[in-house]
Structure 1
Amino acid sequence: MLEYGTNLNLVRSMDLSNNKLSGEIPVEVTSLVELISLNLSHNLLTGIIPEKIGEMRSLESVDFSVNKLSDSIPESMSSLSFLSHLNLSYNNLSGEIPLGTQLESFDPSSYNGNHLYGLPLPKKHSANVAIHNGGGGNDNGFEMEWFYFGMLYGFGMGFWSVFATVVINRR
């Protein structure tokens, strides 16, 4: 068996997508600090995204989509300043997307199929997560009350305008 311990700093891209890999993402992957692209999508990976992923400062593309990863997005991911492509969709991730311009700049579809909230996701997602997690309020309730009130008011005004016109014109 060959051992590649000394040549690992030469690895720039790793695509292990669509391989039915299972288990957790090995923490040792984060020692590939020169890695530019990491694609582990469409596997059966479980567990968490390693916290040390933020130490992989050269990463430009990360795709962990369509796995069974859980817990939250590591705070350290917000320090990946060269990251230009991110796809964490369709996992079991939950919690708030870490603050920082890097993770907030991606399209909301990068986070689909999870229980995440925060920027760049629309507010309705965070309200749904709060309900799902047993949280308190629903921001949409107040808006819906005003919507129904407006409809009722509009109907009443329209009805009485037509009815009053018919009664007055009858005389």
Structure 2
Amino acid sequence: MLVYDSILYLVNSVDLSDNNLSGEMPVGLTSLLKLGTLNLSMNHLTGNIPEKIGNLEQIETLDLSTNKLSGSIPQSMVSLTFMNHLNLSYNNLSGRIPTGNQFQTLVDPSIYEGNAALCGYPLPGCQDDNGEAPQVPSGDGEDDDDNKFEKLWFIICIVIGFFVGFWGVCGTLVIKKSWRYAYFHFLDKVKDALLRSVSSIGTFLHKSS
């Protein structure tokens, strides 16, 4: 018993699904800080989801579906940044779905179906105090603005670089006559040197054959 008590927090998987369990979710489960999987689906659990569930920062899979849980989804769950699978369907949950962090990636409405009083992204929006539905949150708006700004800045740099390069070279040759003569004289020398090199290589290959 002493050993079990000392290592209990190291448990990384709990699956008690489909066991006819009843009563409220034990708050003690939120002390299993190493927990990666928690499955309590298909039971008869009642009451609220513990607010301290946000302590399970390493959890990846959380399934509380097909119970009788009520109240709102705790805001502390937005801190579960490792969570990639969530199922809260078919309970009696109500209120707004939290936003931020992993909840922006949990866009499948089936995660929350069967909770008639639950609203917010990705379900239809909740009404505010004025009876109007707020805009659906999006985690991509800021990224889109950043991408547009980067593309615009990239295009501006290309245009500036073209004009600087063109007028820095061609503009100088057009305006200054002596530079233009020197430039074309240099090109003639390069051309002659290349022709001599090609001719020498051809002669060498012919002699070798």
Structure-2 separation of matches of 1:31 and 1:56: 8
Cα distance, 1:9 vs. partner?
A: 2.4
TM-score of the superposed pair, with normalisation by structure 1: 0.70
- How many residues in Structure 1 have an aligned counterpart in Structure 2? 130
Q: Which amino acid aligns with 1:27?
A: V
Instruction: Indicate conservation of the 8 Å contact 1:105/1:120, yes or no.
Output: no
Query: Which residue number in structure 2 is paired with residue 108 of structure 1?
Result: 109
Structure-1 separation of matches of 2:9 and 2:101: 28
Larger RCO (CA under 8 A, 6+ residues apart): 1
Query: Which residue number in structure 1 is paired with residue 49 of structure 2?
Result: 49
Structure-2 separation of matches of 1:17 and 1:136: 41
Instruction: Indicate conservation of the 8 Å contact 1:68/1:91, yes or no.
Output: yes
Query: Which residue number in structure 2 is paired with residue 117 of structure 1?
Result: 119
CA deviation string 1:114-138 (max 9, x = no partner)? 1211112244xx47xx9xxxx8758
Structure-2 separation of matches of 1:97 and 1:138: 17
Cα distance, 1:105 vs. partner?
A: 1.9
Structure-2 separation of matches of 1:70 and 1:39: 17
Structure 2 unaligned blocks of 5 or more? 134-209
Instruction: Indicate conservation of the 8 Å contact 1:30/1:52, yes or no.
Output: yes
Query: Which residue number in structure 1 is paired with residue 24 of structure 2?
Result: 24
Structure-2 separation of matches of 1:54 and 1:22: 22
Structure-2 separation of matches of 1:80 and 1:42: 23
User: Runs of 4 or more off by more than 3 Å in structure 1?
Assistant: 135-139
Cα distance, 1:29 vs. partner?
A: 0.4
Decide which structure has greater helix share: 2
Structure-2 separation of matches of 1:138 and 1:66: 31
Instruction: Indicate conservation of the 8 Å contact 2:79/2:101, yes or no.
Output: no
Query: Which residue number in structure 1 is paired with residue 94 of structure 2?
Result: 94
Structure-1 separation of matches of 2:92 and 2:29: 21
Query: Which residue number in structure 2 is paired with residue 40 of structure 1?
Result: 40
**Does the C-alpha gap of structure 1 residues 122 and 101 become closer, same or farther in structure 2, counting only changes over 3 Å?**
farther
Mapping for residues 114-153 of structure 1, pairs under 5 Å? 114=115, 115-123=117-125, 126=126, 137=131
Mapping for residues 52-71 of structure 1, pairs under 5 Å? 52-71=52-71
Cα distance, 1:93 vs. partner?
A: 0.1
SS in 2 for 1:86: strand
Structure 1 unaligned blocks of 5 or more? 140-171
Structure-2 separation of matches of 1:138 and 1:112: 22
User: RMSD of aligned C-alpha atoms?
Assistant: 1.9
SS in 2 for 1:53: helix
Cα distance, 1:104 vs. partner?
A: 3.1
